[in-house]
Structure 1
Amino acid sequence: MKRLALLAALTLGATLPASAEVTLTDLKGRSITLPDHPDRVLLGFYYEDFIAITGPGGIDKVVAISRAPWAEWRPMQWEAYKAVYPMIDSLPDVGDTETGTFSVEAAIAAAPDVALLAGWQFDALGEGVAQLEAAGIPVVVVDYNAQTLAAHLASTRVIGTLMGSEDRAGKLAALYEERITDTVKRVAAAGDAPKKVYVELARKGPAEIGNSYGNGMWAGTIELVGGANIARGQVENWGPLAPEYVLAEKPEVILLAGSEWLSSPEAVRVGFNADAAEVQARMLSYLTRPGWAGLPAVTSGEVHAIYHGGARSLSDFVFARYLGKVLHPEAFADVDPQAELAAYYAEWLPIPLDGIFVQKLQ
């Protein structure tokens, strides 16, 4: 029937619809043109953001993934999405640039129309990008790790333009911009002196010192809400701080960045399906470190667990507002970060918020 309709249209001189050519500028400043919105996507990272922006059916266009950053870094989140989208478990895995296992051959074999990668993946691939493009696979870069308002908005709109979901992308960009703008205004209005903040990746347990962040990740969040990051100038991007330095700095707020690290028995496990009592016990164990009991953050009760995956996504405004409320309680008195995160999931994602993503040590 389609063939007969096509012949009829040609016979009658009817104009056939042109393909929807897509032109965009990605987060590396590269102008990219595709003949149409892609039906086959290799998705490297930012899985939740892609799902939020593309809406129902978006995940059906994903034909390959870099599996480890999702299934291994966020295993309980992965399980939550697998329950809704069982097909993701059988998607071809192209490997991971973080561990040097990314396979250009596997990527090409998946025959995607486009490869959607994070900025850090693009940088790590090097010549692999040219190999993908030589095989006819355009590479589009987005970057929520940059942690700037401009990059978040641009990344959101790039995905929306690429996938034909401009309306959802526009609404999400507007939501993010409104919440970040409101957060900055509240911080400015507070007008109080910056409090010293220490953040540690709480994966190794109290016996080993985890990374802190001098630039990017939680460093950007601390600065956005007017905190004084004690790691600034001590580590370039991330790395452990000397225990003596932390004690000497006397942080007034301590953030223990945790996640769903099932293979790390001493980790502060927050995220999907986290147990509140276990989170409290893991945080409490850090206070057994020499000298920590006397730190201002401990004596004033300002030790907090925070979801490590929350620092580079469209929902990261929630974690900024949580820290804003810790540092400026009066300015953020009417803000409920947990409720805002639950509302975000309810409106934009296919799974409910089920777990612990921020928690104060009791």
Structure 2
Amino acid sequence: MSRLRALFAATCLLIAGFVAPAATLAAQSPIVLKDVLGREVTLAAPAQRVVLAQARHLPVLALIHPDPVSVLAGWSDELKSSFSSEYAEYLEAFPALARVPVVGRHTPDTFSVENTLAQRPDLVVLTAAFAGLRPGAAPQESAMLQRFAAAGVPVVIIDFFVDPLKNTVPSMRLLGRALGREEQAEQFIAFYEEHMARVARAAGQRKERPPVLVHAHAGSTDCCNSPGSGTFNDMITFAGGHNIGADTIRASTGQLSLEYINSRNPVVYVATGTGAQRRTGSGLAIGTGVAPDEARASLRRVIATQGLGALPAVREGNAHAIWHAFNDSPLHVVFIEALARWIDPAGNADIDPARTLDEINQRFLAVPMRGTFMIDLDEPGQRAGSAPG
């Protein structure tokens, strides 16, 4: 019996000798990625030193990584300069963020390739516009991409802004594989696709598309900055509405006169803002650290000071505000759900954007969003889309 045991043990050791190297080899296999431009990018291993050309994508990494700051080798100062409340939340959760080198501001002309290379990144994350590529241009036309290629530094192109309905899932899957967080990325993708499909089903049953006015960065400019073609227009259409700005604005954004707006009689009014002008008392107070009452009061102020009180949407209680920064993030799913509810409350009765944001906070985000991110003008007794404080 002892001989049999010895033989069995020897056999196990022999098998282990073959299995262990195979497992090690598999773990060290190169990671081949395909970005939203169709470029193939190879990593030797999951990225540990990532440079974000746009700091606004740190919360995107936080959807799939419990400590996204731990993989940051460099970033822009965009979060600190333009989204100071969000920066404070991340800094509180991850004090090491204060020591992450800044490689540029939030525009391509301030981004330093030399400074980025000095951080010894194993991955640089860009958007096509940041890489200097016009729509439809070949990747070879980007001098920035060529410089990184010459230095042997992998670069991936992601997109949550230009064509988010097409590129969000591939971008999230790409980041998941690049960071070794595939399982977490697939869980979020499944969540995202389920919620987007629910909105699409309801919108597909509508025979008419009511006119919608999205008042972008409300109160920070003369009335009224509004989306034309592109991102916001696609989201309004997906949610089941018709963007009145698209009928006259050919660019991604532009100005609508009050006369034009009144002539179109929008039945849904949505103001957007980031809370950047909160301290000055102008613009929309919404986002991180904002209480519902403050957000609602600022919405009323914008409507009053910009002469929008006579709009059918305002008179009939279908006026709302939402956080503008949902637009360059996978969290545009919350924006779209809110639009769907405001466009067709009865047809979208099973959709609750505030509950969706709550679930994202609980299941995914390493730093939960705390504040008021959507609000209704005249519903003080009802839930106003504020995340837990």
Deviations 1:59-90 (A, max 9, x none): 3111101221x222322111111111111122
Which of 96, 100, 124 is the aligned partner of 2:105? Answer: 96
2:231 maps to 217
Deviations 1:144-169 (A, max 9, x none): 11344431111111011111111111
Going from structure 1 to structure 2, the CA distance change for 1:359 and 1:290 (only over 3 Å counts) comes to closer
2:319 maps to 303
Going from structure 1 to structure 2, the CA distance change for 1:109 and 1:203 (only over 3 Å counts) comes to farther
Give how far 1:43 is off.
Answer: 1.6
Distance 1:270 1:217 in 2: 21
Distance 1:170 1:120 in 2: 26
Distance 2:105 2:230 in 1: 21
Going from structure 1 to structure 2, the CA distance change for 1:265 and 1:89 (only over 3 Å counts) comes to farther
1:144 maps to 160
CA contact (8 A) 1:42 1:65 kept: yes
Give how far 1:304 is off.
Answer: 0.7
CA contact (8 A) 2:268 2:319 kept: yes
Distance 2:88 2:305 in 1: 34
Going from structure 1 to structure 2, the CA distance change for 1:94 and 1:210 (only over 3 Å counts) comes to farther
Larger mean Cα displacement after TM superposition, 13-22 or 316-325: 13-22
Larger mean Cα displacement after TM superposition, 308-317 or 117-126: 117-126
Q: How does 1:152-231 map to 2 (within 5 A)?
A: 152-189=168-205, 191-202=206-217, 204-205=219-220, 208-231=222-245
1:64 maps to 74
Q: TM-score, normalised on structure 1?
A: 0.89
Distance 1:64 1:248 in 2: 49
For residue 223 of structure 2, what is the amino acid of its counterpart?
A: I
Going from structure 1 to structure 2, the CA distance change for 1:30 and 1:264 (only over 3 Å counts) comes to farther
Distance 1:208 1:198 in 2: 15
1:50 maps to 61
Going from structure 1 to structure 2, the CA distance change for 1:106 and 1:211 (only over 3 Å counts) comes to farther
Alpha carbon RMSD of aligned pairs, Å? Answer: 2.2
For residue 199 of structure 1, what is the amino acid of its counterpart?
A: V
Distance 1:217 1:307 in 2: 15
* % identical aligned pairs: 26
Distance 2:230 2:53 in 1: 20
Give how far 1:347 is off.
Answer: 0.8
1:271 maps to 287
Q: How does 1:1-362 map to 2 (within 5 A)?
A: 15=21, 17-18=24-25, 19-45=28-54, 46-53=57-64, 55-68=65-78, 70-98=79-107, 100-123=109-132, 126-189=142-205, 191-202=206-217, 204-205=219-220, 208-235=222-249, 236-262=251-277, 265-289=281-305, 292-362=308-378
CA contact (8 A) 1:38 1:162 kept: yes
Note the residue ranges of structure 2 that are not aligned, 5 or more in a row: 1-16, 134-140, 379-389
CA contact (8 A) 1:247 1:291 kept: no
Larger mean Cα displacement after TM superposition, 192-201 or 13-22: 13-22
SS at match of 2:104: coil
Give how far 1:259 is off.
Answer: 0.8
Q: TM-score, normalised on structure 2?
A: 0.83
Going from structure 1 to structure 2, the CA distance change for 1:336 and 1:290 (only over 3 Å counts) comes to closer
Going from structure 1 to structure 2, the CA distance change for 1:135 and 1:186 (only over 3 Å counts) comes to same
For residue 221 of structure 1, what is the amino acid of its counterpart?
A: M
For residue 218 of structure 1, what is the amino acid of its counterpart?
A: F
Going from structure 1 to structure 2, the CA distance change for 1:264 and 1:139 (only over 3 Å counts) comes to farther
CA contact (8 A) 2:225 2:255 kept: yes
Give how far 1:126 is off.
Answer: 3.7
For residue 134 of structure 1, what is the amino acid of its counterpart?
A: A
SS at match of 1:346: helix
Distance 2:113 2:225 in 1: 31
Distance 1:233 1:133 in 2: 42
For residue 178 of structure 2, what is the amino acid of its counterpart?
A: L
Give how far 1:99 is off.
Answer: 6.5
Distance 1:294 1:92 in 2: 50
Note the residue ranges of structure 1 that are not aligned, 5 or more in a row: 1-11
Give how far 1:213 is off.
Answer: 0.8
Distance 1:216 1:88 in 2: 33
Give how far 1:97 is off.
Answer: 5.0
Distance 2:231 2:283 in 1: 19
Deviations 1:181-217 (A, max 9, x none): 111102223x252111111223544x62353111233
CA contact (8 A) 1:20 1:37 kept: no
Distance 2:369 2:51 in 1: 26
Aligned residues: 347
For residue 241 of structure 1, what is the amino acid of its counterpart?
A: L
